[in-house]
Amino acid sequence: MIYQHGDGWEWFTYYWDEFITWFLAAPLIAQILVIIGIATVLILTIVLVYYIAKGVCLLLTYIGKGIYKLFKGLSTAVEGKSKKNEESEEIHYVQVIENRAPVQSVPQKVNINTNTYNKASFCPECGIRFSGKVLNALESRGFAFCQQCGSKTESNSVQISI
């Protein structure tokens, strides 16, 4: 490129020369700080451009997915099909099962609580004896939290078939 008078490069060369003159005249610590500042600004600019590009890509991706779902919904509406109609058009095979007489009677299920809370009950984590409030909560809800350590204690109910 040929440098011509009035093509816009005068201002750049003028300020560049002024900056170089100031930079070389500055003390060493100022030169180091200027270099660190310029490097920081460049790195932050690159990071900012990266996140802007990433955001634009995600935005375009979600807009594309939305447009796809919109046209898919419109095409199914134009065709007159819905998900319920598509499911009803499928062939369902039904297998006939004979009812057999039960050989044994159905066993009765009894819930038995293995924890005895009317006696002394202690926290399994810290060993502190439960208060009356905690025991009542444990009996009514099936679980409670220790007032000392906060660990959850559950009542173990076992089903026994008779």
| Gap between the Cα atoms of 32 and 128, Å rounded | 63
Taking alpha carbons only, the member of 71, 161, 79, 46 closest to residue 112 is 161
Provide the pLDDT for residue 121: 75
* pTM (whole model) above 0.75: no
Condensed to tens digits (0 to 9), the pLDDT of residues 79-102 reads 887 655 555 555 656 666 766 666
User: According to DSSP H, which parts of 80-161 are helical?
Assistant: 83-89, 132-141
pLDDT interval class at 117 (50, 70, 90): very low
The mean pLDDT value of the chain amounts to 79
Residue 62 has pLDDT above 80, yes or no: yes
Tell me the C-alpha distance between 44 and 46, whole Å: 5
CA distance 25 to 27: 7
Check pLDDT > 80 for residue 114: no
Residue type, 6: G
Dump pLDDT digits (tens) for 25-60: 999 999 999 999 999 999 999 999 999 999 999 999
Alpha carbon of residue 99 to chain centroid = 49
DSSP character for 129?
Answer: B
